[in-house]
Every structure is written in structure tokens, then in C-alpha cells.
Structure 1
Amino acid sequence: MPPLLYNEAGRWRSVGFELEFSGLTIEQAGKALEKALGGELQQESVAKSVLHVEELGTFNIEIDWNYLKVKAAEEAEGQQEPSQWLDLLKQSAAILVPVEIVCPPIPLDRLESLSPMIASLRESGAVGTDDSMIAAYGLHINAEIPRLDATTLFAFLRAFSLLQWWLVDEHKVAFSRKLSPYIDLYPESYLNTLFSCSGPSMDQLMSDYLAHNASRNRALDMLPLFSEIDDGRVSQAVDDDKIQGRPAFHYRLPDCRIEQPELSLQNAWNCWLIVEQLAEKSAAMEMLGEKFLSMERPLLGVSRRDWTELIDQWISDQLLA
């Protein structure tokens, strides 16, 4: 469990997960999910099904291809006639485009309810990141922020930025995903700016972030959170209609190696918990931030290997991992 269990309203914080994989059709994935969690499965279109689970919420099972989702929705709503073209698109998507399961926000004290999901999908034939050299399938974590204020945002941004290189190694991120543009790390110029700050305002946090990270393709994507605070400002900086405001961190770094028996949501979640734990240690972040700045080399920046070794030793000394 993270150090901060409750949100500003005094309720359990919630966490959502997104899984990308192939090997199953929408229908097969929906049935595997229904077998694991129960609930009522409904097909909304050829590109999307939903599973309604009492006390947990609605799970979306969809093909991660916006064009097909739009066309399928139009057909389902009667805006266009049923066509073989949609069937062809669906068949092509099964080969080229991953299936995505988007879980609803689950309270921290109910996360164990999701445990059967991975095994059921695996047993049904789901395959993930390791199935292909070009597959860049991820397991995303959407962790609700405990407090929506500048102090909390600054703490989490600093904690993740100090850990980002170490986290890539700890997750054993696949080569295909490292090469992909989807999980770019924060640039060193942003780390220098962040570690030089002291108690920045929300305005400064947003300005600095958008100046260096005006893209959804970050290992820790803060755009949904900043959109929750000021959607107009984010929209002006980033022209991307996929950005939707929500009071949660969008952590995109973990692979979805769903075909491997050792994969579990807990493994990915445990890595994120290191960020949560460090975010509560202001003095440690101050010390580590100063250390990072002191390791700057002209033209070369900070040695990634040296920094990762330093962080690994610090985590071991603190008994965080």
C-alpha cells in the first residue's frame, strides 16, 4: 500500500489499469474477462465491448484503433449501413492492432479483486510485449492523486524524475518499447529545471512541464492531470484530442508481458509504489536532487549508469524495494 491511502474527500484512493495485448479477438477477450470477474458482458460494436461488474464498475474492451472505433460506433448507432469493409478492418486490426482493456478506477482496498483477470486472459491465448519484436504493448497505471495541489504534484514529479532511469531497469522494459516513442523519459533539461526549484506554484509547475513535455508520449504522462486543473492551457500547448482530464497520474512505463506466468498487476504496482514512497520524503528528494545537479558533466550530462547505481544503492539502504 502507498503511504497516502485516502483522497481529499477522505475516501480510499483509486487505481485504474490499462492492458494492451494481442492473440485474442474482442469477443474472446470479453469472455475471458467475464470468466474472471463475473458481471454482464455487452457488445457495443465490432470494435468495443463492455463488462459491467457490480461493485467494481465498467470495463472497456476495445481495439486500440481510433478509426475503426469511430466507424464501428457509427454503424452501431445506425449512422451507416452494415458493411463488409468494417469486417475487413476488424480482421486486419486483429493482426496489426492490440486489444486494450481499460479498467475502471478501483479503490485501493479492492485491488485484489482484479487478480484473476491476468491469468484468465493468458489461459485464453493473450500475448503481449514479448510476442513480437515490434510489439510495444504496455500495462498502464492510473493512480489517483492524493491531493490536487502544487505541493503534491511537485513531490510526485520530483520523485519520479529522480527514479525514472532506475525504473526502466527495474521494470526490465523491452527493447521494442524503449525504441518506441510512447514512453519517452523526461529530458535532462527538465530534470535540471525541476531539481533547481523550491516550492513552485501550480502555474510554474505547468509552465515548466509543458515547455519540456508537450506530448502524451511520456513514461509518466502528466497531461491528463494538468488538463483536470486547466484544460484550456493544456489544449493550447498540445493539439491532441485524446487528452482527457482526470485527477490521476498516467504511468505508462511497464510492459504488458501477459504471456509470461510471472506477470501480475502487483509487480507493476510495486514499482510505482517506490515513487509514492519517495514522494513522501522531502529531505531525501532535496538531497538526491542536489546530488544529480552536482553530477552534471559539460556537454555529456549526468552519467545514466552512475546515477542508476546511486539510486539502486539508496533504495537498498532505505529498504524501499
Structure 2
Amino acid sequence: MMDTREPAFKMPPVRETARGSLRRVGFELEFSGLTLQAAAEAVAAALGGELEQDSAAEMSLNHEHGRFNIEIDWDFLKRRAAETGAKEGGDGWLDLLSQVAVLVVPVEVVCPPLPLDQLATLQPLVPALRDAGARGTEESLIAAYGVHINAEIPRLDATTLIAYLRAFALLQWWLVDAHKVDIARRASPYIDLYPEAYVRLLCEHTHPSMDDIFTDYLQHNASRNRALDLLPLLAEIDEQRVRRTIDDPRIKPRPAFHYRLPNCQIEKSDWSLASGWNTWCVVEALAAQPELQAALGEEFLSRSQPLLGVNRSKWIEFVEQWLNDHALV
């Protein structure tokens, strides 16, 4: 039964793609405290469907809405196996999977992209994992567990792309506070924010071409480790150009933003996947209002001082009030 205490998923201003279909959103949820088997069984109990064992570190759930993958951090376990002498595929390896995962290795549930009107399907997932013993961000100073949101872009054109990029860049400092990003995750290299020089560039280049967007992004953000990782989306548009700069097999082309900022607070009874999504929707709202976005960009540029840049704490305070004044939160 759905936990009625959980917030509903907000709907963004732009709900359809250029094809006229509802946009889709996928979630990736990291946590510890459960073995792979226990996590998979909790997912199946919450959502229904048929479980399959794909490998020693991977299971999947075949569901009417698509394939849910439940997996353990494979690279971490390979390193641990080498340290302990456990051979991959052997009994020692399987014991390692079972024992280490509960302590420090994140288990990840990767949800298929769902249409916006089907996101409520996911509501039973978090309570089921929580009741089974899953623990999130605050339980680990090592893994810095988070939630990744893969939001389909409405249109694959320069105007749409720059609107989202600029909206996120102007809000990124505020978003860290709005999400209450855990100190361990802030210190990790995985969710770096865009450099301030790049934010200024986005504000100054009011109507860039797609070529300009590629050039500027790859020059300033040649890494997957960004709070808003644009590489999968850029690879969807021109994969070869991306790989000439960053030849990383983990970059998977898809027409979606890869948003990595939210914590996973699965152990808290008032937290759900909608929590992070609803904060992301502030970016959606600003991206849909070009005049407001331009005004906020001009404000950012006006506050930039030589050598010092923009005062972060004062900008966050200003943005909080500005968003309220314009009914964006």
C-alpha cells in the first residue's frame, strides 16, 4: 500500500517532448544495509514482477513498466576480492558479495525511465527498502550515497539545452542548500558544481549555437563528476565529439539530463524519490521562463567582482528570496 505521508511528484511546466509523448524520468537509488538478495526481494515485494539473477552482483526485476536493475558496486568488489584473495566466481567471492555489501558497498536500484504520469508507481519502493533495513547518505562517511535523476529533455535543440544549462548553473549553489547535500557528498569528487567562469559564460552567451554549447561545456566540464552531468545528453547528439574529449565507456548516450545532487535519505520516514525530483522541478520552472532567467543571469553578472567573483552566501540568500518573489518555489 502506498505511504500517504510521502510527497507527490510535481509536474514540470513542459511535460511533452517534440514528438508529443510524455517526457520520461528515470531514478538511480544508492544505499547500504541490505544484501543484494534482500534488496531485490524488497523491490519485488513493493512493485511486483519477476526477479532474475543476472550475475553474482546483479539482479533484475521484469516489470510491466520495464526492467529494474538491482546491483552492487562491481569495481569496488573486484578490488576487495583482490585484497582478500577471493576469486571471482568462487565461493569466497560470493561470501564477499554478501558480507561487504551490507557494510560499505552501495547497492543500487536503477529504475527504467517512466512517463511523468507513471512516476507514482515508484512510491511504494522507498518504504519497502526502508522497512527491509536500507540506509542512505547519513549512514556512511565513505560511500556518499545519492539519488540520480535522469530527466528526458523536451527537445534536442540548442534553445532548450541552453535554457536548462543556464537555469541549473544560476541555481546550483542554492540547490546544494535546498537539497541539504550531506558534507561527505560535498567533499566527494562526484558532484562537483560548474566552475564560476562557466556560469558567467552561460550568462554572457545569450543565443549560442549547438556547436558553441559543445565547445564551452567540454572545455570547462570534461568530467562525468558534475552535479548536472551533461555528457550522456551530448553523446546522444554527437557521441564521437564527446569521446574525442572524454573516452570513458561509462558515458551512455541518452536524451536526458543526469542530475546527481540529491542525497539518498532512505532511512527517514518523510523522505521519498519525489523529494529530490520536486527540488529539480525548480530548475524546470526557471528553464521554462526565458525572461526571468535572463534577468537572473544579469543579476549574477552584476555581482561578479574582479578576482573575487560572486559571493556565494549572498547569492544563495538573494536567490532564495527571488524564487519566492516569482513563485518558483
Relative to the length of structure 1, the TM-score reads 0.94
Preserved contact between residue 32 and residue 101 of structure 2 (Cα < 8 Å): no
Preserved contact between residue 232 and residue 258 of structure 2 (Cα < 8 Å): yes
Separation (CA, whole Å) in 2 of partners of 1:81 and 1:221: 32
Aligned partner of 1:62 among 65, 71, 75: 71
Map 1:217-232 → 2, pairs under 5 A: 217-232=225-240
Aligned partner of 1:140 among 145, 148, 151: 148
Separation (CA, whole Å) in 1 of partners of 2:112 and 2:316: 34
- The worse-fitting range, judged by mean Cα deviation, of 165-174 and 91-100 is 91-100
Does 1:247 pair with 2:255? yes
Map 1:1-321 → 2, pairs under 5 A: 1-54=11-64, 56-66=65-75, 68=77, 82-90=89-97, 91-321=99-329
- The worse-fitting range, judged by mean Cα deviation, of 270-279 and 91-100 is 91-100
- The worse-fitting range, judged by mean Cα deviation, of 262-271 and 18-27 is 262-271
Q: Deviations over 1:11-35 (max 9, x none)?
A: 1100000000000011000100001
Q: Which amino acid aligns with 1:83?
A: G
- The worse-fitting range, judged by mean Cα deviation, of 268-277 and 83-92 is 83-92
1:299 counterpart SS class? coil
Separation (CA, whole Å) in 1 of partners of 2:219 and 2:88: 45
1:140 counterpart SS class? strand
> Cα offset for 1:241?
1.2
Unaligned stretches of 5+ residues in structure 1: 73-79
Preserved contact between residue 128 and residue 135 of structure 1 (Cα < 8 Å): no
Q: Which amino acid aligns with 1:60?
A: N
Separation (CA, whole Å) in 1 of partners of 2:136 and 2:185: 12
2:124 counterpart SS class? helix
Counterpart in 2 of 1:75?
none
Counterpart in 1 of 2:5?
none
RMSD: 1.7
Preserved contact between residue 16 and residue 105 of structure 1 (Cα < 8 Å): yes
Counterpart in 1 of 2:3?
none
Q: Which amino acid aligns with 2:44?
A: E
Preserved contact between residue 65 and residue 97 of structure 1 (Cα < 8 Å): no
> Cα offset for 1:8?
1.6
Q: Which amino acid aligns with 1:234?
A: V
> Cα offset for 1:286?
1.0
- The worse-fitting range, judged by mean Cα deviation, of 174-183 and 95-104 is 95-104
1:50 counterpart SS class? strand
Relative to the length of structure 2, the TM-score reads 0.92
Separation (CA, whole Å) in 2 of partners of 1:81 and 1:111: 37
Separation (CA, whole Å) in 2 of partners of 1:21 and 1:67: 14
2:190 counterpart SS class? coil
> Cα offset for 1:67?
6.6
Preserved contact between residue 257 and residue 263 of structure 1 (Cα < 8 Å): yes
> Cα offset for 1:238?
1.1
Unaligned stretches of 5+ residues in structure 2: 1-10, 82-86
Counterpart in 2 of 1:76?
none
Counterpart in 2 of 1:77?
none
1:204 counterpart SS class? helix
CA 19–291 in structure 1, closer or farther in 2 if over 3 Å, else same: same
> Cα offset for 1:81?
8.7
